Amino acid sequence: MESYVVFLRGINVGGVKVLMKELTQLLSDGGFHSVRTVLATGNVLLESSLATAAEVRDRCDQLLAEKYGRPLETLVFASSQVLDLAAAFPLSANDTEHRYLTLCAEDAEVLSEFLPADKSWQANGPYLYWLAPKGGTTDTPVSKALTKAARRHLVTTRNFNTIEKLAELIRQR
């Protein structure tokens, strides 16, 4: 059994409300094991006998579409990848900034065409690390650019504290 982290994109928007208790039950009934949601923002720790993260993603997407009557996209990473992510944030943040991680279904460099030419972000594989001033996250050029990019690319963003919390829970398993 392998351990994975599933990140749902765009839940509780556009008329679809995904309750974490229902999500846990759906994924458990769908063949996953040790399913646990973290926060109410679509973060799921689970175990699966499926061979790859892509297979886990396909199964999750299928279950969600059947339950909610429309596609709800997910990004799935092996728990070991999330542990590696949480180990180091590559940008220097200060007390007035929040750290964010945008997860991408493809190499995050494809997002660079949307992003400002500054040092507030860094792409690394399917990950985009970025900073935003506290109290003004949605007003930043990076946030606005990612909103546009999300129309063409499968991405979902988490506060980096959430990634660290997920990593801690993985270590406790």
pLDDT confidence band for 59 (50 / 70 / 90): very high
Q: What is the pLDDT of residue 141?
A: 87
Helix (H) or strand (E) holding 76: strand 74-78
The per-residue pLDDT for 71 is 86
**Of 93, 94, 96, 100, nearest to 129 (Cα)?**
100
Tokens matching residue 105: 């279904």
- Give the residues across from 59 on adjacent strands: none
pLDDT at residue 27 in the model? 97
Provide the pLDDT for residue 40: 81
Residue ranges of domains in the chain: 2-82, 88-159
CATH code at 2-82? 3.30.70.1280
- pLDDT, tens digit (0-9, with 9 covering 90-100), for 160-169: 999 999 999 9
Residue 15 is predicted with a pLDDT of 67
Supply the mean pLDDT for the chain: 90
Higher local confidence (pLDDT), 115 or 59: 59
